[in-house]
Amino acid sequence: MKDYLFRCITCKKEFSPTDIEYTCPDCGERFGTLEVIYDYDEIQRNFTIRTLSQNPVFDITRYCAILPVENFDKLTPLKIGGTSLYSFPEIANEMGISNFYLKDDTRNPTASYKDRATAIVLLKAMEMNKQVVATASTGNAACSLAGLGAIIPLNIKIFVPKNIPLQKLTQIKVYGAELNKIDTNYDETFDICTNKCLEQGWYNRSAGLNPYLVEGKKTGALEIAEQLSWNVPDKVFVPIGDGSIISGIVKGFWELHKLSLTQKIPQIIGVQAQNADSVKKMFEYFKKTGEIKLFDKKANTKADSIAVGKPREAVKAVKYLAKYKGDVISVSDKDIINAIYELASRTSVFAEPAAAASYAGLKKYQSLNKLNKRDNAVIIITGNGLKDCEWIKLNNKS
C-alpha cells in the first residue's frame, strides 16, 4: 500500500486514512478539511522527469506514483485528463504578456474538469468496498459521477439544486444514476446529501468533504508543468466555487516543486463571480488579519458551477493561496458572458460561464495593470459551454 496520511488544514493533527474518512472531528466540517500528505522522499526515487518521459500514455494514470491509488485497472477505459494546452500568441500580444495558454478540460469524458477528481474517488470507493457513492453538486460533479460511475459496479446517487441547467440535468439522466432534485439552492442541497450519506452509510464524493477530490484535481497542474517542459507559468487563472479545484492546482504545483521537478510555484489567481465571492472576502480578511473568517452569503450568478455561497473547501484554498502568494478576484456576470463570446470566437473553445470566469479574470488583471510583459499565463477552462446554455436566454447579444 502507498504510504500517505491525512492532515487537518487547521490544527495539523494527522490521521491514518483507515481511521477517518472526511474531516477532522476536532475542527469540524468547514475548518477541518484534510490534506493528503505523502512520503515525498520515497516518491522522489521513482517519480522523475526521466520515468515520466518513458511513459507513452498521457492521462492522469501517468501520475499514479503521486496519487492515493494503487492502479487504475478497475476504472473506466475512457481517457481522463491528458487534455490539450493551447497557445495563442495573438492574444498574448494584445494582453502585453509573453505567452497565453488555455488548458482545455472540456475534453474530458463528461466535458468537465471534475472527471479528474471523480476517477480517484471511485477507485477509493472500490478499494474500501463501498456499495453506494453519492454527491451534491451544482451540476458538473453530478454529471461526472453519473457518467464515470455508469460502467462501474456501484450504486450512484445524485443530489442537485432546483436551478441546475437543463443540459446538465439531461446529462445526469442519460447516464442512469439515481437523481434527487432538491427544491432549494446548492448549499442546502449539500447539507441534505451529507446527512443522507451519514444515515445510510453511503460514500460521499461532495467537494470539501472528501479529501481525495483535491488529489484528482491537482493532476491539471502536473500536466501543465509537463506540457511546458517543466517551465511552470508565471500566473494561472482558476475559477472558484467551493475552492476544491484551486486547492488542487496549488497543491499540484507545490508537490512538483517539493520533488525538485520544477524551479518555482506559479502565482495562482482564483476568480469568482461578484455575487458569489465568499472566498475572495475570506482571502482579503486573512491577508489583513491572519485569521480565517467565514463570509457565507446567498450566491446569485449566471455561472451556476461557481454559484456557491457556503464554500466547503474555502479554508484550505485561502491558506494555500496566501502561503504561495496567490490572489482572488471577482468579475461581473457581464464580464463572464463577454468572455464566453471572445473565447469561442478567438480560440474555438466554447466555455460554460463558470469556466469562462478564468479568462474574464485574466482580462481584469490586465485592466488593473497586474500583468507583466514577461508573464506566461494559463487559464483553465473547466467545463464545456454546451453544459450550460441558460444564460443565453438572459443575454442581449444576437
Q: Is residue 27 part of a domain?
A: no
Sign of torsion, CA 382 24 154 223? Answer: positive
Q: Which residues are CB-contacts of 46 (< 8 A; sequence separation ≥ 6)? A: 65
Question: 183 and 326 share a domain?
Answer: no
Q: What is the mean pLDDT of residues 353-360?
A: 98
What type of residue is 84?
S
Measured CA to CA in angstroms, residue 42 lies from 14, 356, 360 at distances of 19, 39, 41
Q: Which domain holds residue 117?
A: 113-209
Question: 96 and 164 share a domain?
Answer: no
- Closest-CA residue to 64 (of 87, 88, 46, 85): 46
Residue 112: φ, ψ to 5°: -150, 165
Question: 106 and 155 share a domain?
Answer: no
Name the domain boundary from 209, 225, 240: 209
The predicted-structure confidence for 12-70, as pLDDT tens digits, reads as follows 999 999 999 999 999 999 999 999 999 999 999 999 999 999 999 999 999 999 999 98
Name the domain boundary from 162, 189, 209: 209
Question: 384 and 286 share a domain?
Answer: yes
> Do 9 and 319 touch, CB atoms closer than 8 A?
yes
Residue 365 corresponds to which cell in the numbers above?
488583471
Q: Is residue 96 part of a domain?
A: yes
**What is the reported pLDDT for 209?**
93
Q: Is residue 58 part of a domain?
A: no
Question: 322 and 376 share a domain?
Answer: yes
Strand order in the sheet with 267-273: 85-87, 99-104, 376-381, 235-239, 267-273, 327-331
Question: 148 and 170 share a domain?
Answer: yes
Q: Is residue 144 part of a domain?
A: yes
Q: Is residue 329 part of a domain?
A: yes
pLDDT of 389 higher than 80: yes
Q: How many domains does the chain divide into?
A: 2
Cα gap 96→100, rounded to integer Å: 10
Name the domain boundary from 164, 180, 209: 209
Q: Provide the 8-state DSSP code for 105.
A: G
Question: 383 and 239 share a domain?
Answer: yes
Q: Is residue 14 part of a domain?
A: no
Question: 192 and 249 share a domain?
Answer: no
Name the H helices within 237-332.
Answer: 244-258, 278-289, 314-323
**Which stretches of the chain are assigned E, i.e. beta strand?**
4-8, 14-15, 34-38, 85-87, 99-104, 132-136, 155-161, 178-182, 203-204, 235-239, 267-273, 327-331, 376-381
Q: Is residue 37 part of a domain?
A: no
Question: 181 and 239 share a domain?
Answer: no
Question: 249 and 388 share a domain?
Answer: yes
Give the CATH number for residue 185: 3.40.50.1100
Strand order in the sheet with 34-38: 14-15, 4-8, 34-38
The predicted-structure confidence for 148-178, as pLDDT tens digits, reads as follows 999 898 999 999 998 888 999 999 999 999 9
Question: 233 and 158 share a domain?
Answer: no
- Closest-CA residue to 140 (of 120, 160, 163, 162): 160
Residue 345 corresponds to which cell in the numbers above?
470566437
Global pTM reads 0.96
The predicted-structure confidence for 21-31, as pLDDT tens digits, reads as follows 999 999 999 99
**What is the reported pLDDT for 388?**
85
Residue 65 corresponds to which cell in the numbers above?
506514483
Cα gap 22→271, rounded to integer Å: 26
Sign of torsion, CA 16 19 24 29? Answer: positive
The predicted-structure confidence for 224-246, as pLDDT tens digits, reads as follows 999 999 999 999 999 999 999 99
Q: Is residue 179 part of a domain?
A: yes
Sign of torsion, CA 292 197 189 164? Answer: positive
Question: 134 and 236 share a domain?
Answer: no
Helix, strand, or coil here: 355?
Answer: helix
**What is the reported pLDDT for 130?**
96
Measured CA to CA in angstroms, residue 207 lies from 48, 58, 340 at distances of 30, 26, 25
**What is the reported pLDDT for 138?**
84
